[in-house]
Every structure is written in C-alpha cells, then in structure tokens.
Chains A and B, each alone.
Chain A
Amino acid sequence: MAILTKDEAHALLKKVLSYSKADECEVNLNSNDSANIRYARNSVSTSGKVTQSQLVVSSAFGKKLGIATINEFDDASLEKVVRRSEELAKLAPENPEYVPFLGPQTYPDSMMYVQSTADITPKLRADLVAQSLNVAKNAKAVAAGFLEDNTSFNAMMNSKGLFAYNTSTNTNFSVTVRTEDGKGSGYATRGYNDIRKLDTKKTTEIATEKAVKSANAKGIEPGKYTVILEPAAAAVLLERIFFGLDAREADEGRSFLSKAGGGTRLGEKLVDERVNIYSDPMHPDLPTSTWSGDGRLQEKISWIEKGVIKNLSYSRYWAEKKGVKAVPGPDAAIMEGGTKSLEELIAGTKKGVLVTRLWYIRDVDPQSLLLTGLTRDGTFYIENGKIQYPIKNFRFNESPIIMLNNLEELGKVERTVSVESNQNYLLPPLKIRDFTFSSLSDAV
C-alpha cells in the first residue's frame, strides 16, 4: 500500500466502518515503507526493501471485544476482516475492564514527516554506505554498520466519530569500527527524521577514532567511579524509567514507583533536583505523533520536574477507576541538559571513566530498577581533565534512580538512539559519581 493522503485514509476507514454491525467499531491503519543496507567486514552483507501494511479492526458487543487484522485492501477483504473481528468478539468472554471508544478529538498536525527522507533513492542509500566504508578502509579498519530509513502513515477512525491521521519519516544509522587486529573497537549512532541531517562519513570518523584510541586497553580495578555517559550510553539506562511510568503497576505495588506502606511515589522527590524529563510531540528536534494508538491527544507533559515525579501514565480504564485524566505514555522522552560539551565535561573531571556505549542491559531487580550490562566500543580513563588511556570493559550493576541521585553535571542535549529499543531521545551526556562497576570483561 502506498502512503495514503488524509482524504484517502479517511475514505478507506469510512468504508471499513460501513461494514460494521457491532455496538462499537474502531479501525487502525498503518503502512510502513522500510529500506535498509547492512554491512560487515567492509562489505555489504544484506539489504532489503519491504512495505508492510496492517488494518486492525476492533469490534465490541457490550463489553465483549474482538480484534482482527488484515493486509489486503479490496472490498471483500475489508468486509471479511470486520466480520472476523465480530466473530471473535462474540467468542470472547465479557471484559469488565472494557472502556467504550473515544469520541471525536482535535489534534495538531505532527512534524514527523520530511519529504527528502520519503524521496530517498537507492543511489543515495548506497552512497551513504560507501562514504562510511571509505572512512574505515582509509583508516585500515573494519566497519560493520546498518542504515535504515522508514516512511509511514497511521490513521484511525471509530463509530463514535473519532478520526486521526499522521505521517512520519525517520532514519537510523549505526556503525561499529574495529581495528584490523581486533584490539580496538568504536561505535557511533545517529537518528533523524530528515535524511539530509545524516552524515555517515562524520559518524564513521567518530567510531574509527574511538576504535583506534581504544586499542590495547588496560585493566583497572572494578569499583565505584565517576563516569561520563555519552548520550547513547545514558539512553539505555534512562529509558527503563520512561518505560516504567505506568500508574496501575505503581498503584498495584509492583513498580519502582510503588511506595512502602501503599500508594505511589507520585509527587515525591526521587532524584537530583536538576533532573527534568518531559515529552513534547511538537519538539522540533524530536517530533512524535500527536495522538496515541487509542486516539488520545499526546500533549507536552512533564514526567520528572526538579527531581519530583510529576505525572504517571494511565490506561483509560485505570484513569476512570481512579478518577484522573487518562494521560497516555510518552512516545519519546527529552531530558533537559546543561551548556557544556562532552569535551568540557571531560576537561572538568579529575578522575573518571568515559563510557561510549552500554550493552546487554537487563533488569536485575524491578523493585529498585537495578540494571546490569557492560561498557562496549570505547571506554577510557580520565585523569586531570584528559583522556589518559583506554581501559578494559566493565560490567556494571546500577539503578538509574540511584544514578540520578549521584548526578554531578549535565552536558549539552543531543538526539540519540537506544541500541536496546531503537527509540530516539533528546538527552545530555551525564556525569555521575559512584557509578558501580562490579567486574572486568575481556571483550573488545
């Protein structure tokens, strides 16, 4: 399916709804054109271009809900998927948590779509990869990377009169450069809505420099260190907070935001007062959809303000039960930063460790949000404001909540990509004291 205009999507969804015999019907439609090139050992290994479309029909009879999807769009298929969802609804037991669909809403147009990304040609993709490969080859290093671009649209309509539409583009690029002897490894990643902002040459130069400088790392004792986490390293820790903002989990006592004795930590100061985290669908550097998957308006909202938990996200059912506004969870998160560059943060550090990337992050204890994982692709020892030498990778055991209580300094915000979730964020580099490294790894 091609990218439909707002009018075309409206007409298609209206047609789907016309087949409905249920008490309520809601239809979500999405289509994504995705293309990628993957390379390793300085050579392209795979590439692909896929268009995937999906129509999701939710039908309800009373509190009985059935969901069916299809990826064919002729009239017979559209009617068939509606019937199928109605059959499933009739088979399903009543769900006491069913909430009737939302009525009409008003949304601003999002800023996620950039024509130049939608217009990307196979040649441009190949050129971008060639620029990356050339940097590695010229440095006598070995590159492995991945370039992906997406152009997509989402639309929804229901029998209560709600209609929503959004188009978006984005591109993610990541590259790992290793020295030929395998003793050094560097990484860099970038994500943008506008392909014109992507500089694969410069990004690969950063990874190459890290690879060369990280070779022949020394082992230093594990323990508590002051660290500077580059935004890509900070992202994989901080996003565990962003994913855990659900009010119901907290109310039920099974979240790091649950309070001993009952209740939640909403309104409590949980981290350093310089921590401000919010989401804003209209942020020019990280635009996101202006509506959530169930049609709720996505607005600018503060999650942590001056270290205080300011808001939690609610399903519509839980919000109704609790008598509060049903705030949807964020699509992306933004953390306010400072004015210093990464280099200035390093220059102001007496003793510490610079972390390029963290890897294989897993929950150890959901109650304290304790996470484990390892440094990777460029870890350096800092003394007297200068990078002194590369160091071997560490395993850490640390909670992002404890980490944000040990905040020393925030650097300048930049857009970054989580290697764990592929989500984009606007985050500063973080300087943290007493970050817990628990063992050494021989991995390069």
Chain B
Amino acid sequence: MKRRDFIQLTGMSAGAMMLPFSSFGSPVDVSRLLEPMLDAAQKKQLADIALNTTKSLGATYTDVRIGRYLNQFIFTREKKVQNIVNTESFGVGIRVIANGTWGFAASNSVTPDGMKKTAERAVAIAKANSKFQKEPVKLAATPSYGEVSWKTPIVKNGFEVPIKDKVDLLLATNAKALEKGANFVNSIIFLVNEQKYFASSEGSYIDQDIHRILPSFNVNAIDRASGQFKSRPGFSSPVGMGYEYLDGKSEDKINGPGGIILYNKSYDIVEDAGMAAEQVKQMIAAKSVEPGKYDLVLDPSHLWLTIHESVGHPTELDRVLGYEANFAGTSFLTLDKWQTKKFNFGSKQVNVVADKTQVGSLGAVGYDDEGVKCKQWDLIKDGILVNYQAIRDQVNIIGQNESHGCCYSQSWSDVQFQRMANVSLQPGKEQLTPAQMVAGVEKGIYIVKDGSFSIDQQRYNFQFGGVLFFEIKNGKIEGMLKDVAYQANTQEFWNSCSQICDARDYRLGGAFNDGKGQPTQSNAVSHGSATARFNGINVINTGRTI
C-alpha cells in the first residue's frame, strides 16, 4: 500500500492548493456527473477507428480503453468543512502488440482524429521498443464476448446523494466524537465511479460501470501533561458498494470481544465515532505490552492487511518473475516451490482464494482491463501453494492456457498490468465464534483494525501494528495494551494458524491505494476473513522516548 496517497488524501501535503489525486482529473458539478458522455454505440464507433488504424499499421493485437473516472471527496475537521471536490477525467488508452512487442499511448482527445493519432503512436512505440525485446509476447486465448455490459450492483448512487446530506453526516460524526471527549476529529467521504469501455481486436466490446465508497474518520486524544497522543480511525472499510453502505443496519453490527462494536456489510459512522472517542482515551491509559511470544487473535478488520501483504503480493506472478525487482520487489514463492505441489505455505486450515467477482468487494468487475471474464480461483489449498495471480501474457510461463482475469489500470492514461485480485482467507469449516476462540487462549492479544505495516521485498519478514490491543489471560479479555507490534516470517506465521472462525464472522477489509509499478499505479482491493488465531507469535514493544 502507498503511504503517500494517505498524506495527499488528508490534505497534509506541501502543495495545499493542489487537489488530492490531482492527476485523476478535474472537478465537475454533480448534475454533469450524471449525464452519460458517450453512449456505447458512439464508443464502439470510436474504438473501431483505433482498431482499424493499428491493424493497418501491422499490429497483431490491440485493445482500446475509453474511460471516464469520477471522484468526489468531502473533507471535514471538527465543526468545519475543509474541502468539497468533484473530479472527472476522460480519455483513451490504446495498447498494441507490433513486432511481438507491447506499445501503449494515451490521449484525452477522444475524437476520430484523436483515436487515429493515438493508435499510430502506440504502434510506433511498440516498433521502437521491439529492438530490446528478447522474445515475442505470447497472449493466452480469451473468448470474444461481443457487446456486453456489467455494473456494480449498487442500491444508492453516492454521487446522487445531495452534498448537504453528506456534509451533515460527517459533521454529525465529528460532533459525536467531540461530545464523547475527542480532542480532534477529521472525517471524509470518498466516492469513486469508473465508467470503462473496452474494445479489442478480438471482437469484445465491454461497457462497465464500477462504484466504490470510503467513509472514514480519525479521532485524536491528547494528554497534554505527558505529551502522549493516540489516534483511532473509523472501523469502516472501503467497499465496492453505493451509498447504502452508510445505512448502518443493526444486522450488520457485530459485538466483538472486549465490548467493541464491529461492522460488516453496512456502517454506522456516527455510532463508531462515539465509540472511537471513548476508546482513544483508553488507548493512552493502556498498559505498555511486555515483549514476548503471544497467541494472537486477529479480527478481520486487522487481518486483511496481513493477508494483503503476506499472501496477496507474493502470489503475484510478475513479482515472482522479476518484473517488479527495481521497486515493489520479487517474491519468495518462486516457481520451483510451486512446482513441487507440496510447498506448505500454511497450516491445513489455511485456504486462500483470489476472486474478482465477490459482491461488495473493491476488486469486483465483470471483465478485467484486457477483456477477460472474471472468476474465482485457489491460491493456497489446505495450506499448499497451488497457483499464482497472472494475466494473458504471463500464464504460458506457468503452463496454463487461461488468464486469471486480474489485469487493471488505474486510469485511461496508464498502461494496464497484473494487479492483485481480492485475496481472501476462507472461513473455518467448524462452528466457532470469536468469543469461543478467545476463551481457549491462555496468553494472548486480540488485535482490531490495521495499523503500521512493513514487509521485505520478497515477503518473508513482516511487522504489523494495529489499533486496539486487548490482553487475553486464561481465556478472558483483561484490558487494553499499547506499544504492540508483531514480527514474523510469512511461512512460519501461516503455519501457526490454528483456528479460523466460521462463515458467520467473515468480513471484508481493504484499501483503495495498493501501489505497484513505475510510475506507480493504485489498485483497489478487498480481503476477506473471519477472526483467526496464530500461536506463539513474537510481539515487540514499540514505546520510545525522544
């Protein structure tokens, strides 16, 4: 995950007058956001111009992505609205294979002339690069789907909700936190709509309308006398849903161990802000952890990030092959390990699937950005590494003939490449609740929500913090701890997984800003799990004085 985006998102960057995600586009008023710019027939006509141009110049494959990307951000702090921003970005990206080599060009000129020129540029770049190419690109076959469409199944389009309603909700959130004793509170609503049209020289014309939402806050408590301060973020997740995520339905609330409230498919932001203000004061007063080995009970609001970093990334085939060696890194899950069909990534309980179809997830789409119909597949089966995440030009390397459908580009202006699908730990098969799990732990820590995270470039050694840490002694929650981080080796950690709660506890976490590539691109991805137990994990104390 990229840290820099968080800084931009919270308005803490140096160029204060520049908009967050400024490269993503330009603001528009709401009424204009709701008007379709071009219908599918017009887009097809334009795409065909590009497809014909590249074919005439000798390209053996072409895909055209006409994209309109809409964002809305509302930022508040305490009683003030800091910023309301609508952005729009519209343009086309054309990718070709010529002389066996990829070429890509993009333009915001989505006109017949613009399509032709951009198509010509893509072919020219491919031909120029072909002198460095060692072997020609091999694309796995994919069916031609003809003219099809797909939409995120939303109930309420967040862009249609009046700005005043969203502002009022955030100010009510802040008021609740302040009423309960918070010193400071920031809150945001971030909406995303990707309207993507894909056309390929293989005869697919795919129109998709994708929605995502992130409502959240950050509550601070400060103890002036000691100089200590803590922050407690919202227990929401970014999701692939509409504004209905903010309905905060009672059936989506979960009473977790330690008297906390957690959220599943909808979120009560005001209630959570009140809880946050009370908890953040306890976080300051909490006992500093004694370093040592503990059994960890990890809530899905925390575990998603551990799954993301230690399972999601090392199973990306481009990393395994070395394409990310200069930046994101390579992977310890080398092909020889996979080829043995015996590499025990984790304990027998550990089953991990990759999925681009899961309803409500950030990664859910009908088709990926190279026209492959999306699906679910196994990565880890009964603890054994069984597959990777790979796209059309990679699957031949692992002896497969079908892309996994996880190719993505953050915008029309960036080239698509292999990105992480939703990667999720499957729930346990036996009935088990988090409370029952805690009852079986002698010396442990129950961790809620993701915090600090860091992992090496081959994904062996990681360190994770969290937000709420509860000490477990002889099966009971004893009180809050602070200064907690755990360190482990990925394979040892997943082999220490001894219990996973059942499907009733399964929830999604995720992030909008998983970063990879140079120049870096962001990918939105969810990770599901139920609460899980890991035995004998090394916990360090992170308290320091300066």
B22 touches A95 (CB 8 A): no
Bound: A26/B413 CA distance, A: 28
Bound: A421/B544 CA distance, A: 25
Q: B175 to nearest A CB, angstroms?
A: 14
| Known contacts A146-B518, A360-B456; A69 and B27 CB within 8 A of each other | yes
CB proximity to B under 8 Å, residues A302-350: 315, 328-331
The interface residues of chain A lying within 8 Å CB-to-CB of B225 are 260-261
Against A, the Cβ 8 Å flags (1 = close, 0 = not) of B530-544 are: 000000001010111
Against A, the Cβ 8 Å flags (1 = close, 0 = not) of B377-398 are: 0000000000000000000000
A215 interface residue (CB < 8 Å to B): no
Bound: A393/B16 CA distance, A: 38
Residue of B nearest to A260 (CB): B227
The interface residues of chain B lying within 8 Å CB-to-CB of A363 are 452
A376 interface residue (CB < 8 Å to B): yes
A258 touches B29 (CB 8 A): no
| Known contacts A48-B104, A254-B220, A370-B544; A42 and B227 CB within 8 A of each other | no
Bound: A195/B427 CA distance, A: 54
A228 interface residue (CB < 8 Å to B): no
Residue of B nearest to A253 (CB): B222
A87 touches B457 (CB 8 A): no
The interface on chain B, measured as residues whose beta carbon lies within 8 A of the other chain's beta carbons, has a size of 91
Bound: A39/B220 CA distance, A: 44
The interface residues of chain A lying within 8 Å CB-to-CB of B85 are 67
Bound: A269/B349 CA distance, A: 54
Residue of A nearest to B82 (CB): A95
Bound: A408/B417 CA distance, A: 45
- One of B61-69, B293-301, B323-331 contacting the partner: B323-331
B26 touches A70 (CB 8 A): yes
B224 touches A252 (CB 8 A): no
Against B, the Cβ 8 Å flags (1 = close, 0 = not) of A403-444 are: 000000000000000011100000000000000001111111
Counting chain A residues whose Cβ lies within 8 A of the other chain, the interface size class is 35 or more
Say which residue of A46, A360, A440 sits within 8 Å of B457 (CB atoms).
A360
A368 touches B544 (CB 8 A): yes
Against A, the Cβ 8 Å flags (1 = close, 0 = not) of B1-18 are: 001100100001011111
Bound: A39/B460 CA distance, A: 25
A71 interface residue (CB < 8 Å to B): yes
Against A, the Cβ 8 Å flags (1 = close, 0 = not) of B441-477 are: 0000000000011111111110101000000000000
The interface residues of chain A lying within 8 Å CB-to-CB of B415 are 46, 48
B321 interface residue (CB < 8 Å to A): yes
The interface residues of chain A lying within 8 Å CB-to-CB of B27 are 67-69, 84-85, 88
B125 touches A259 (CB 8 A): no
A365 interface residue (CB < 8 Å to B): yes
CB proximity to B under 8 Å, residues A94-124: 95-97, 122
The interface residues of chain A lying within 8 Å CB-to-CB of B222 are 252-254
Against B, the Cβ 8 Å flags (1 = close, 0 = not) of A354-378 are: 0000011111111111101110100
B217 interface residue (CB < 8 Å to A): no
| Known contacts A372-B452, A393-B456; A259 and B17 CB within 8 A of each other | no
Bound: A271/B348 CA distance, A: 51
A66 touches B84 (CB 8 A): yes
The interface residues of chain A lying within 8 Å CB-to-CB of B334 are 182
B128 touches A126 (CB 8 A): yes
A254 touches B229 (CB 8 A): yes
Against A, the Cβ 8 Å flags (1 = close, 0 = not) of B112-138 are: 000000000000010011011110000
A443 touches B456 (CB 8 A): yes
Known: A36-B518, A330-B14, A372-B485. 7 other contacts (CB 8 A): A40-B323, A48-B125, A67-B85, A70-B26, A144-B326, A402-B546, A442-B489
Interchain residue pairs with CB less than 8 A apart (5): A47-B125, A48-B104, A71-B25, A182-B334, A254-B222
B residues in contact (CB < 8 Å) with A: 3-4, 7, 12, 14-19, 22-23, 25-29, 80-87, 89, 102, 104-106, 108, 125, 128-129, 131-134, 163, 167, 183-184, 220, 222, 224-229, 231, 321-327, 329-330, 332, 334, 413, 415, 417, 452-461, 463, 465, 483, 485, 487, 489, 517-519, 538, 540, 542-546
Q: Enumerate the 3 nearest inter-chain pairs by beta-carbon distance, A residue then B residue, closest first.
A: A260-B227, A441-B461, A144-B325
